[in-house]
């Protein structure tokens, strides 16, 4: 089984939002925090069906190197 997570960070219907900007010291942006509600699809491309959602948060936890902490719940809506 292959599932695909659809992440859209810009455009008219983003499914991820930065809620804390963190430090402005590029490239690390230490402390940057985002909340997501990504769709889980049963295939690639425009004909794929939504089978669930990946909801959670991510933050840039590395001060010296880029490291991300991610916590997510996977909610499946399809009985397959």
Question: What is the mean pLDDT for each group of 10 consecutive residues in the chain (80 residues)?
Answer: 91 94 78 95 92 95 89 88
Predicted confidence at residue 26, as pLDDT, reads 67
Q: What are the contacts of 35-40 at 24+ separation with CB within 8 A? A: 36/7, 36/72, 38/5, 38/6, 38/7, 39/5, 39/6, 39/15, 40/3, 40/4, 40/5, 40/6, 40/74, 40/76
């Amino acid at each position: 089984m292959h599932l695909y997570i659809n992440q859209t960070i810009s455009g008219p219907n983003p499914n991820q939002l930065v809620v804390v900007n963190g430090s402005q010291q590029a490239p690390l942006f230490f402390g940057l925090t985002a909340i997501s509600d990504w769709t889980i699809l049963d295939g690639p491309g425009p004909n794929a069906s939504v089978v669930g959602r990946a909801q959670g948060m991510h933050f840039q936890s590395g001060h010296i190197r880029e490291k991300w902490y991610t916590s997510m719940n996977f909610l499946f809506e399809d009985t397959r």
